[in-house]
Structure 1
Amino acid sequence: GFFGDPLTACNLQLHTQCLENDDCPSDRTCVKQKCEDPCHNVCSGNNTSCQVRNHIPYCTCKQGFFGDPLTACNLQLHTQCLENDDCPSDKTCVKQKCEDPCHNVCSGNNTSCQVRNHIPYCTCKLGFFGDPLTACNLQLHTQCLEN
């Protein structure tokens, strides 16, 4: 067969599959007049996969992995949180785990710790007074004497 404009010139048609990407299925790309898989040797990172959308290759991490798919994807460990708001309000995000922020915070005697909106607050226990970061002392009940 021939192709071209019959009024100007016709050329012998070689075995071409495509002249542009739209001549190929959406998961293929036109390379040297042939429809080819555009993912070949594109995603070189470990644990990556390639998907083609509208003739364009996209590298992604395989399921269960995270990272940069152009360099490497690593096994995704179970993470509870990335920030405090991912945890209940009485916990804080520490190393991607929701933990009690009161652990070893209030070191003074007779103190207690309460968490409000992820923040630990040290207080003296009921009946004690002082600085909860150092020590709380027993509150003595004295009656005032009138003159």
Structure 2
Amino acid sequence: MKPSKVKRSYDRFNDYSADLINSDYNTFNDRANMLIDFCETDEVLKLVHEQLINHKNVDFDTWYQERKATIGGMVGSGELTFPTKIDDRMAIQYQLIYKIKAGEIDAAHFAHHFFPTGRKLDDAIRAFNECSEHAPFSRDELQVRRYP
């Protein structure tokens, strides 16, 4: 595979990630769909997609049930923690986006449970974008690519 193809794929991944990070309630699902669809179909990224979806060290459903068990009666009361090993962390974060794209998890409800933002859905989605998923995923993914 040519280095230019890898760079093109990486650049498009960064663009789609940035679109998702900058999304709001009305655009989040569309941007998540674009990112995941790209990762599933791009010749370079589909290899990463498969590794993240089938990562043997994580069980997303167990992780998610454990996180949901920490949700109390207040908005944003859930404790959102991710694995500390970079590969495991990226796998969980990617699988979360994948589950949102698949309609198995509602992004606004997830953000409502784990981020104390009040009632505005845009604020919940922005908190979700900024504090939890995508910036760390993109940053960690970049480090893995730089230092294989």
Q: Fold-level match, TM-score > 0.5?
A: no
Larger radius of gyration: 1
- Length-normalised TM-score, structure 1: 0.18
Q: Relative contact order (alpha carbons < 8 A, sep ≥ 6): 1 or 2 greater? A: 2
Judging by fraction of residues, say which structure has more strand.
1
